[in-house]
Every structure is written in C-alpha cells, then in structure tokens.
Amino acid sequence: MASQSAADPGERRQLLACGLSHKTAPVELREQVAFDPALAAALLAKLREEPGGIEGALVSTCNRVELYVRGPVSARLQERAERLLAQFRPVFLGAHDEGKTFVHEDEEAARHLFRVASGLESAVLGEAQVLGQVKEAHRSALAAETAGAYLDRLFQTAVSTGKRVRAETDLGAGAASIGSAAVELATRIFGRLTDRTVLLLGAGENGLLTARLLAERRVGRILIANRTLEKAARVAEELGGRAVPWEEIPAALALADVVIGSTGAPDPVLDKATIERAASRRSNRPTLFIDIAVPRDIDPAAGRLDSSFLYNIDDLTRVVDQNLAGRAKHIPRAERIVDEELARFRGWEADSEIVPVIQALQRHFEDALVRASERQKRQFTDEEWPRVEVFVRSLIKKILHQPITRLKDPEPNGVPRNLRIEVLRDLFGFGENASTERPHAGAPRVEPGKEEAPEKDSDRHEG
C-alpha cells in the first residue's frame, strides 16, 4: 500500500486529478504525453518514493492522460503531481503553460473519474473500451502499491458506476464508429460470422479497423489484397488471415461474403461487370460491400445487383450519427447514476474521514483523564485501581457520546460535517501534532458506520 509513514491522521486529505484529454489538447500533444504500461509503472514507482503517504493511479489512453493522487492538504499535491508528470513527459510543462491541462479537486475529481468510466467523457459517447482502461489503471496502482484503501475504493466505485451505466441505460448501444457500423451491418445481414469470408482491399485506416473488429468477432476467414504483397502479408499476419496477390482479386471476390474497400486508389477497383461475374460463381449468394475508401473503390452500380448490399462511408456515417443521437437521450439517466454512486462514495469517505478524528479525540480525553487519575492512584489499593480504570473509560464514553453522534450526522442544524471536523482539528490541534500511535487498549474504537454507545449507569462498576 501507499506509504503512510509521514502522514498525519488528523490532517485533512485531498483528492486531485490532473492531466489532459481530447477536450483540452489536440492529438499531436496527447500522443507525446501518452504513457505505455512500462512508463506508467515507472511513474508509479517514483510516486511510491514520495514522502507524505501519497496514493496515486494513472489512467492513460489515446484520449487522455490523468493522474489521480490523494494526500495531505499540506503536501502541495498539484505541484508535485504536475512535476511528476513532467519528469516523465517534459512536454507536459508546456501544455500546462498553454492552458491545455486540467485539475479537479476532491468531489469533482471523483465525479470526473466516474464519468470517464461511464463513457460520458469519451470522444465517442458511451464507448466501452475506457471501462477496461480504468480497471487496468486500478490493477496497476494496486500492483505498484500506490493505491491505499481510499484509491482502491474510489476505483472500485468508478468501475461499478461504469457497469451500472452500461447495464441500466443504452448509452453504449449501437455502432459509434465507421468500423463498428460496418460490423453491425454484417451481423444484421449474415447473423453469425464464424463461417463467413471477408476480403479486405487495401489497408486504409478505417478498413483495417473494420477488419480487426471482424476478426474479434471470430469471422471464419480474412483475405487481404494489396498492391504491395509484402504489406498484405504483414496485415494478414496481424489478423490471422491470408495475403492475396492483387491480380487474384476476381477469384477471391467469388469466395467473399463481405468485401471492404479501403485502398485510396483514384478510380474504382471493382467494376459492376467484375462483381456480376463473381456473383454468378457464388450462385448469387448475397455479398455485403463496405466501401470506406474516398474516392470510392466499388462501382456504385453494383448496389443495383440483386445479390449485392452496398454501403459507402456516407451511409455508415449516417448509421453512426443516428446511433449517437440515440445514445444522447440516455445521458440524463447516466448522470443520475453517477450522482448516486458519488453520493454513496462520499458517504463512505465521510465515515472514513471522521474515524481518525474521533480516535484522536478519544485519545486526547483518555490521556487527560488517565493522567489526572494517575495522580490519585496512591489513594487506591491494587484491588480498587482496576475499577477506577473501568470508571474512567466509562466516563470518556459518556462525555464523548453526544459529540461523536453529532459529528457523524451529515448536517445537524445545517452545519456541514466537514466544517465541524475542521473546527475540531483546529481546537485540539489534531492537524499539527496528532499522535500516530494506536489508541490505548482500553480506548473505545469507532469504525465507519458503527457508533460507540455509552455504558448504562447499571453497567458501570461502582467505586
């Protein structure tokens, strides 16, 4: 766990999130700040060496680099977090100076993480991949021993928030990218894809992404044709497919159930006549043509053939736009889930925050009463003294019962609990020299959500 050796349990601790995202910085900057797993592990190892009991976790994706840290308010968390990021990615300093970074504190930092895990902060609203990335950030922080009880609970709640949003809303429903829209169409037309053959023409970005998505769906076979056979072979190796020489496209076309055009050629690669001949060899079984290329790879006239389904990039874009518009309707419900989970987390946090203050308060009173009674110890026999100790502990419980009960109440008489905690810290100096020792064995212990009731008079030993 994160080192707590120099942490003062009486001092208020702060949560902070700092970094940059697609909302604050362009891709050219984000790619310079991105952390691969090895570099992220190195950053967490460095963070673990920091004094002050600072916890930390790093979320790094293609759309964001966000460092979450928690430590004492006096630890200058923002300065230290930004310095740490800049130590590994010097360009971060320039990004900060140019206003391309962000900082969230306490509740807003937790809310931001929950929104990230839910897909509400994603470039593509509701995308699911980010939830796995938040899980990985959590696992990495635990492995690096930089996540204590607080960050562990924070990330657990973030993941459960993301799962709830996906289970209880349609925020992630429908294809939200050109590639996923193409896969959605293929599934709609053919159902299972495990016995289907895909032919990829060229290796453009969208075409390659679509082929990868189809491979993830365990499509039966992938054929890759490219003007450069070596490049086709590299793509085939990645996708677990087979490279096809460019001149053998007509033969491959007769085998293909799904054809993806992504060459970037100036003129169509497949004309209507070529497609008709292939359809005849296929006994006119249906073929889905997905033309993602601009200029187009497939003769538009092919769409008029009975056995052909032809969709170009504009068709797919309309599918995506419709799906995203549908997703947007579910934002209010997703936001309510975030609010609910945040309130639940804040309740846990508040209970956890008051425990060290209550324990410090108990120690303060016990030490004072024990010192006072010790001065009178010689007036009691060895048999009587244990009863005196029991009486002292009972008296402490009685004195502190009402203050502790009111301290646990979120807002008695409209006074926020955090303000009452700060007043206690100030009055008794818990944030300055509060002991880090464990309470005396006889001191009453308080755990989150558990109230220590005073002893009844009948329970108190007389003496």
Closest CA to 132 of 163, 104, 105: 163
Please give the torsion angle defined by the CA atoms of residues 373, 375, 381 and 387, in that order, rounded to the nearest 10 degrees. 10
Overall residue count recorded for the chain in this entry: 463
The owner of tokens 């292939």 is 278
Q: Both ends of the chain: CA-CA distance in Å?
A: 46
At 316, list the tokens. 């797919």
Q: Which of 137, 125, 159, 171 lies closest to 17, judged by CA? A: 137
Q: How far is CA 269 from CA 178, 199, 266, in A?
A: 21, 13, 9
Q: Is the dihedral of CA 120, 123, 124, 130 positive or negative?
A: negative
Quick check: 192 and 181 in contact, CB under 8 A?
A: no
Are β-strands 242-244 and 221-225 bridged in parallel, bridged antiparallel, or unpaired? Answer: parallel
Residue reference for tokens 């558990």 = 450
What are the two backbone dihedrals, phi and then psi, of residue 362, each rounded to the nearest 5 degrees?
-60, -45
Taking the C-alpha atoms of residue 259 and residue 199, their distance in angstroms, rounded to an integer, is 5
Has 18 been annotated as catalytic?
Answer: no
Backbone angles phi, psi at 129, to 5 degrees: -60, -35
Fill in the DSSP letter of residue 463. Answer: -
Distance of CA 78 to the CA centre of its chain: 20
The residues with which 19 forms a beta bridge, in sequence order, are 66, 102
Residue that has been written with the tokens 């009402």 in this structure: 402
Half-sphere exposure of 269 (CA within 13 A, CB side): 29
Angstrom distance (rounded) from CA 448 to CA 346: 12
- Set 62, 91, 173, 415: catalytic member: 62
Closest CA to 12 of 448, 422, 355, 426: 422
- Helix 37-48 to helix 77-88 angle (10° resolution) is 140
CB 8 within 8 A of CB 72: yes
Residues serving a catalytic function are 62
